[in-house]
Structure 1
């Protein structure tokens, strides 16, 4: 869903950001290698000893359950951030597109959006993500398909953001572009899969207590902290009301 000259665009991670739990972590912890080994791999990624693409593939390949059963398990257990529905409604009313930029898998994200937010939301939220190749009955044989297999991230979120802006004509807008003004760009995320997108927008919302904040502090990347989408909505309303973005940056 692209709108003509929107006042802002919100790019957001999905798992652990729009949802309370990370669906990929849930599958790995409960149907795959287990939490301890997954957390070991996550730390290896954060410390730069392996890349996200290879570590995430190892986690997902440890899950041997048929894909349809994986989706059913997630639909029964994954919960929505309590502030997201109000945030979604506000963005719809203000003409602000929400773009999911995820290292998860599109069929899972679509199924969760349909259940947790509503069938109409799938038509209104663009999903830029990895995908799945299915084989056998009920997806008995399935594999992760990376959007950018050549990238160490598997899905290069920075690239996806840039391509989205270029595709919809937002990349080159300025104050003199026939009265059009570049929309304010926001990104919300929580973890290591968001590292490539951390520098691509005007303001980064980084989730309290999660790995993305550790990275931002280490790399001196400006961010503002949030606990849930009620926090993001509160700050977004103030910015759209005219308060300068720089007033919200916690490590300028």
Structure 2
């Protein structure tokens, strides 16, 4: 039986050209944010702790400013709409697995034909004095990395017996998932991480390149 292809695609820095969490921090400049970003990227701090602490620096009184900036600052990487069309045509299941936050992930992706139950991201709570990040997709018993939005937990729901699993990503949030799948399309930090472990990865700059590579994989 032929396995069904399934794609798990990151959002920040992958679907979008820039990393939206970092962009928010750079724009609003809460004291201490740079150290938190550095510690997450260098893996000295877990993703969940780092992202939670970053947003806790921002007061909820600035909610509308933060939300408006996050949504309006987004640039979609070239070829994304075409990739979704190709996946639909080829019956490839497409999931967004994002370490980003609901208040910008869902509004941005609303322009594209992706079912909401195929979008995984973190949530937010603006009821207190400062922004609190909520973690509805935490690590299962097989992951102890304190991911926040655990991509490996989602990937493991789709067995290698039934699915050819593909990950598209760019950074440290994608690294654990990259170890599980058959093929990785990588950018930025993820290229270095995949190279270090000798993982099967394909570098890319836009989604047209991903589509072309998927087509070539069909004839191999």
Give the structure-2-normalised TM-score: 0.85
Q: Give the match for residue 92 of structure 1.
A: 88
Q: What is the CA RMSD across the aligned residues, in angstroms? A: 2.5
Is the 1:107–1:131 contact (alpha carbons within 8 Å) kept by the matching residues of 2? yes
Shift of 1:111: 0.4
Aligned ranges for residues 1-252 of structure 1 at < 5 Å?
Answer: 7-33=4-30, 37-38=33-34, 40-64=35-59, 66-114=62-110, 117-118=111-112, 121-123=113-115, 126-135=118-127, 142-146=131-135, 147-148=137-138, 151-163=145-157, 165=158, 171=159, 173=161, 182-207=162-187, 210-239=188-217, 241-243=218-220
Q: Is the 8 A contact 1:52 1:152 kept in 2?
A: yes
Report how far residue 6 of structure 1 moved.
7.4
Measure the CA separation in 1 of the matches of 2:56 and 2:184: 31
CA contact (8 A) 1:28 1:62 kept: no
Deviation digits for residues 99-154 of structure 1, max 9, x if unmatched?
Answer: 0111111232110112xx34xx2427711221112327xxx753101232774222
Alpha-carbon distance in structure 2 between the residues aligned to 1:172 and 1:221: 17
Cα distance between partner residues in 1 of 2:175 and 2:37: 13
1:176 paired residue number? none
Count matched residues.
Answer: 213
Change (3 A) 1:157 1:205: same
Deviation at 1:25, TM superposition (A): 1.2
The CA distance in 1 between the partners of 2:132 and 2:116, in whole Å, is: 27
Secondary structure at 2:191 match in 1? helix
In the TM superposition, what whole-angstrom CA distance separates every residue of 1:54-76 from its partner, at most 9, and x where no partner exists? 22222222233533432221222
Mark the runs of 5 or more structure 2 residues left unpaired by the alignment: none
